[in-house]
Structure 1
């Protein structure tokens, strides 16, 4: 068998056979031996670093061939870029054979997409090109091969042939923002609530920073809820970048009060954060990869909510929302917009309790509309609208799958829950046999003390209602009894109308409803020990809370 190390090599020492490139059956040095008839012709090995020449294109004219990068430069071996170079740096591409010019998007290893201007980039498919870095530290010329999945459109190149193509312009100045540490820390705390903690997409763990005009905008999303807020800043260079949310928040929260400077250093997607004697370089991801979560609200159904009691409304309703994801619709709050009645109704239920609250609706609508908003979204809204003085604008998209809340300093967008909410009106009892009016604060304190003993007794708290007589006032006795640790009793004066009644509730549910009622007195309406108990504030506040009773062991 023949072994050849290189073309034109003679016979191997100690072998009587020779390899020649001739037709089988020929004579002399141009003929192969019978053993090689039908075998694959020999091809010399190619070094891994060598550039394989593509199919030869028509030879350029003399003026084209006079380009300084043509000829020997195109036959150079490919130069491997050094580690850390060429990442995120604007580049200019110059072909060795100039024939066409076009505008395209360049995808270069280690770089994001860059748009090349047609006057500064002339490309031919399959031709080795020179990649010229515009940064001084990467001024070395390397050779690479560019392939394009489109047909370039030739343009006139009269008067351009033979001239070196200039590098792409850098454009605007790099991003540079100066803001207060207190404002930046508060904004980061707001958007961090929407950052994904466990996501297969690394960019969802980042915060998008966008500097434009006279403000700095911060955005985060987990693809279910998104928050975008902005703060006043001195912007001397516009731009955008995404950086890890936790790292940036921890660093900014540790800085002393004063000015903080955020600057893109030009080393790719690296954000330089400095304040006083502190400085850090945080590597991020290109802002173009961050998902756009803000929907179009041009055709949306819009309405307003009063800001003065919005937090109270949300807290009273969301306590009854379920936390178990087995029934997703119960983890949300049913929101019914009724323009005829002139109010918006919010209801939540988890199978053991129900909360219903109404609020005035001042925005005219075309008809009745109902959606299910996630309880978590409303809790985030209540958390960020504490100091809000303007009405909160809400917009439901035309597809009925997203809702946007607009405040003076931020936007909050969330997905809506798709499903049929139970008919809650059938759950609320319409009649009662016993009604007690009790001081809210006193009943809360008695239930709280009883909950300490109820922890070892299935969390059961008993309420015994005694209407009293002419000689003594009515009382409500709150008690809990645990066989292992003991028990307690607390009497609370009350105005009771009806029969004597004893009923038991879950201690947590009882404390939750008493904790969100701001009225001085609360009314408890009962029918039987096995029927639901209804709690209502003794005020004009249209709030109703229903709790299912617990079984009392005799």
Structure 2
């Protein structure tokens, strides 16, 4: 293996795959990056995996004198490349399982493992099930990922997001038992369903953000046995295991909310008010409780902790009955943050019923939040 590549391209590639590399593993190859030179295609591909998810990232080569592949220490290589001041980095593998790396006056030799020690990333058989705009896919994940569970012990399937096509719509859904975030778009696709780990989707959003100027769309695929999902653009391919288990019937829960009072608020103003109250609320308990007294034309919101108390009157439009109800301020902030338009509609089902948070007069997005029980001494 002998090739040269632009330092900026290599640095971008190594940064992109960093989150897919195992931090510690008895299998040394999992802490490394597999680098492969393809002289005919003039492409260098870098791959990493932790056995749960994997990535192959392609960059153009400056020159390839000799094909080859090997596994190099990912952390050392990545840290060195960031600090190089030369425009071009050259790799030359010798017969002693070492790779000599030169960049201007800098020289380094690293041990190289055989490519055979690196696990195969690509599933044996997979089928593309959806081709979607990178920008749209990123938006759908970013506006829902906050609602996934962080507790893999109680119900591992809820630590991921449901990606499904059903009845001509593509749905992205996250929930943790206390809230639901649902984003949908009309698409032309056959029905499919998969639950993808949240960690994988977080890394995908990062990748798309870096590559969005070059990659117009992303193809979503599913392995024949249903245990792996594949995400492909012109620059990279990500493969991840899917999560097994029954996903909660989110649509039934959301459509089951009957309005007790509907409130329309200025999105930024409401977010700012709750953000101020949250400073005190988060000191009180893990529920971050803020109490709302909804009256005609206003919400009187207050919270109390040992450190102090806070109150704010929020002007709004109301339709329906008066209501006293409490919510986790953090959950409410994360939902309102995704609204993205000037006005937010809040639909309250009643004292012990959920609240729906959605953009006013806009389709394709909704959040569902369960209330916090108000203690009598509050």
TM-score > 0.5 by shorter chain: yes
2:358·2:365 contact (CA, 8 Å) conserved in 1? Answer: yes
2:257·2:354 contact (CA, 8 Å) conserved in 1? Answer: no
1:301 deviation in Å? Answer: 4.5
1:301·1:398 contact (CA, 8 Å) conserved in 2? Answer: no
Highest RCO, 1 vs 2 (Cα 8 Å, sep ≥ 6): 2
Q: CA 1:257 to 1:342, structure 2 compared with 1: closer, same or farther past 3 Å? A: farther
Say how many residue pairs are matched. 366
In structure 2, the partner of 1:37 is: none
In structure 1, the partner of 2:229 is: 403
1:304·1:362 contact (CA, 8 Å) conserved in 2? Answer: no
Question: How does 1:281-300 map onto structure 2 within 5 Å?
Answer: 281-297=109-125, 300=127
Distance between the aligned counterparts of 2:177 and 2:224, measured in 1?
31
1:551 matches 2:373: yes
Distance between the aligned counterparts of 2:307 and 2:245, measured in 1?
45
1:229 matches 2:57: yes
Distance between the aligned counterparts of 1:275 and 1:337, measured in 2?
48
In structure 1, the partner of 2:268 is: 441
**Partner SS for 1:336:** strand
In structure 2, the partner of 1:460 is: 289
1:182·1:257 contact (CA, 8 Å) conserved in 2? Answer: no
Question: How does 1:37-436 map onto structure 2 within 5 Å?
Answer: 175-213=1-39, 214-233=42-61, 234-256=63-85, 258-264=87-93, 266-297=94-125, 300-326=127-153, 327-338=155-166, 341-363=167-189, 365=190, 368-386=191-209, 387-388=211-212, 389-428=215-254, 429-436=256-263
Distance between the aligned counterparts of 2:351 and 2:257, measured in 1?
16
1:512 matches 2:319: no
In structure 2, the partner of 1:42 is: none
Structure (1/2) with the larger strand percentage: 2
1:424 deviation in Å? Answer: 1.8
Distance between the aligned counterparts of 1:539 and 1:307, measured in 2?
25
Distance between the aligned counterparts of 2:7 and 2:264, measured in 1?
50
2:172·2:183 contact (CA, 8 Å) conserved in 1? Answer: yes
Distance between the aligned counterparts of 1:197 and 1:475, measured in 2?
51
1:267 deviation in Å? Answer: 4.2
**Partner SS for 1:427:** helix
**Partner SS for 2:135:** coil
Distance between the aligned counterparts of 1:451 and 1:280, measured in 2?
51
Q: Max radius of gyration: which structure?
A: 1
1:304·1:361 contact (CA, 8 Å) conserved in 2? Answer: no
2:257·2:353 contact (CA, 8 Å) conserved in 1? Answer: no
Distance between the aligned counterparts of 2:362 and 2:136, measured in 1?
13
1:337·1:370 contact (CA, 8 Å) conserved in 2? Answer: yes
Structure (1/2) with the larger helix percentage: 2
In structure 1, the partner of 2:351 is: 529
1:519·1:539 contact (CA, 8 Å) conserved in 2? Answer: no
**Partner SS for 2:134:** coil
Unaligned runs of at least 5 residues, structure 1: 1-174, 468-473
1:181-225, Cα deviation, whole Å (9 max, x unpaired): 111111101111110112221110000000113111000001110
2:128·2:219 contact (CA, 8 Å) conserved in 1? Answer: no
TM-score, structure 1 as length reference: 0.64
Q: CA 1:464 to 1:256, structure 2 compared with 1: closer, same or farther past 3 Å? A: farther
1:362 deviation in Å? Answer: 2.4
TM-score, structure 2 as length reference: 0.92
**Partner SS for 1:385:** helix
1:266-289, Cα deviation, whole Å (9 max, x unpaired): 142212222122221111211121
Unaligned runs of at least 5 residues, structure 2: none
1:321 deviation in Å? Answer: 0.9
